[in-house]
């Protein structure tokens, strides 16, 4: 722990979510998904290379795409649980750019959209029951960023809003 109570609490919240999805999504357990950092705005997830390796000795593209998609999903789920309550999140459009291989343990880093975009998303979800967010996720190893993901996610209330 860092000694910063709020940062430590945020990271514990992210670790609890990752533990939950590791039990619900077997792939994340096999990938050995973990949390490097979460401060309420930026999330960094990590996986070791050995369980995510391909026949070339680099990261398997399926693991890269899974980690990127999961990072965005986790960040928006954490945000929604804090700002709105129980919501569902799903990626509906994703574009990966693979620029170089990942040769070691690797991370996915994602930040929330601007405060104005978050306010718009919160309004859409709370008033209309659904909204969407676009995130840029970077995937990197010790040699730097190798892959980027631009993805759109849908966010909707677990229970539809009451009344007209």
**pLDDT value at position 3?**
57
Q: What pLDDT shows up at residue 18?
A: 85
pLDDT value of position 160: 62
Global pTM value: 0.90
Confidence (pLDDT) at 23 = 86
Residue-level pLDDT at 118: 98
- pLDDT mean values, one per 10 residues, the chain (164 residues): 61 84 89 92 96 98 97 95 95 97 98 98 97 98 98 91 57
pLDDT at position 2, please? 52
Domains and CATH numbers, the chain: 5-157 (3.10.129.10)
Measured from the Cβ of residue 159, the count of other Cβ atoms closer than 10 Å reads 10
DSSP reduced 3-state for 116: helix
Q: Is the CB of residue 76 less than 8 Å from the CB of residue 155?
A: yes
Q: What is the maximum span of the chain, computed from C-alpha positions, in angstroms?
A: 56
Whole-number Å distance between alpha carbons of 96 and 99: 10
Residue 30's SS3 state is: helix
């Amino acid at each position: 722990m860092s000694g910063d109570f709020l940062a430590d609490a945020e990271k514990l919240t992210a670790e609890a979510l990752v533990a939950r999805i590791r039990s619900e999504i077997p792939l994340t357990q096999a990938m050995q998904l973990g949390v490097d950092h979460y401060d309420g705005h930026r999330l960094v997830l990590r996986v070791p290379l050995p369980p995510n390796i391909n026949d070339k000795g680099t990261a398997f593209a399926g693991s890269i795409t899974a980690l990127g998609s999961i990072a965005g999903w986790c960040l928006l789920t954490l945000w929604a649980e804090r700002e709105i309550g129980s919501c569902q999140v799903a990626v509906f459009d994703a574009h990966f750019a693979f620029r170089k291989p990942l040769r070691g343990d690797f991370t996915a880093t994602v930040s929330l959209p601007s405060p104005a975009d978050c306010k718009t998303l919160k309004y859409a979800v709370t008033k209309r029951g659904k909204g969407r967010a676009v995130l840029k996720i970077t995937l990197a190893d010790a040699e730097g960023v190798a892959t980027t993901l631009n993805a759109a996610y849908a966010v909707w209330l677990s229970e539809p809003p009451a009344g007209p």
